[in-house]
Amino acid sequence: MIRHPDIRFAATIAARSARVAGVLLVTAAMVTATSFAQTVPVPKPAPKGRDGAQSGGGGPAVTGATQAPPNPVIPDPRRNVPSSIFQTFDANQKAQAAKVSAYLSSLQTLVGNFVQVGPDGSKTQGDFYIQKPGKVRFEYDAPSPIAIVADGSSLVVRDRKLATQDVYPLSQTPLRFLLSDRIDLMRDTNVVNVSADDVFVSVTIEEKQALVGTSRLLLMFGAKDGQLKQWTVTDPQGYDTTIAVYNLDTSKKLDPGMFKIDFTNYGPAPG
């Protein structure tokens, strides 16, 4: 059983958590139905450039002025997004969803920094690297030994200190929507809410699993620049993990080796 606190973050993304020793790890989205989410402190972050990854000079390159870490917008825990098979959207909501779909589909690479707020309110930071389709790497600032890597088909939560890693199908994480080469949110996902104000355009996606319950992914984009700002994953137990991203760069070329999963040193390939 996974016992490192960073795993809680992984469990939330997977939306398959229920109660197990660990904390959500933003992208390690796939803790199995036998793994359970719990409210324990979110880990301190992980060193950059771990596992021999070539991250291009110690962290993501940024286009324009470097930004300070943002304060993530934490959703109201009392919120209740109605879910109905008869959910309908007006023309403005459909137009907003279409803009978000076009933006996500236009991305091929995305590099930046993130701030994570766990269910207990604790904050951690790190760097992330996305190469579409299907590849992602999350690195926490030291001293965390955890790294999350997806190679296009599998996703691993790796603990360098323990020399272990847990492997999950990438297809089971709600964040696969961010990693898809092309996506139409209204057609390809179960959108249950679209809203917009002067600051954010927000889209909520819901997934139901018979054995573990309902999870939600709330994506938030800048109303003015249209860029991804943050997401919140709500696991079946109702625990939220929020990730705010900043210093985004869509032009950086990434080393394919960053997304290679090492089954030799960390155990056999799945199956």
What pLDDT, in 10s, does the model give residues 113-128?
999 899 999 888 999 9
Mean pLDDT of 199-206: 95
Exposed, middle or buried: residue 125 (CB in 10 Å: 0-12, 13-18, 19+)? Answer: middle
Helical residues (DSSP H) of the chain, grouped into ranges: 7-14, 91-106, 176-179, 185-188, 263-266
What one-letter code names the amino acid at 62?
V
Q: What percent of the chain has pLDDT over 90?
A: 47
How far is the C-alpha of 248 from the C-alpha of 64, rounded, in Å? 9
220-252: pLDDT as tens digits: 999 999 999 999 999 999 999 999 999 999 999
pLDDT at 40: 28
How many CA atoms, within 13 angstroms, populate the side-chain half-sphere of residue 139? 23
Average pLDDT over the chain, rounded to an integer = 77
pLDDT score, position 65: 65
Token digits of residue 259: 């997304």
The pLDDT-based confidence of 85 (bands split at 50, 70, 90) is low
pTM score, whole prediction: 0.74
The pair phi, psi for residue 196, each rounded to 5°, is -150, 145
Residue 206, beta-bridge partner list: 216
Fold assignment, 7-47+90-251: outer membrane lipoprotein receptor (LolB), chain A (2.50.20)
Count the neighbouring beta carbons within 10 Å of the beta carbon of residue 214.
Answer: 15
Domain boundaries defined on the chain: 7-47+90-251
Using the predicted structure, report yes or no on whether residue 152 has a pLDDT greater than 80. Answer: yes
Q: Tell me the per-residue pLDDT of 34-51, one tens digit each, with 9 for 90 and over.
A: 232 222 233 333 333 334
Q: 89-124 in b/e burial notation, b at 16+ Cβ within 10 A? A: eeeebeebbeebbeebeebeebbbbbbbbbbeeeeb
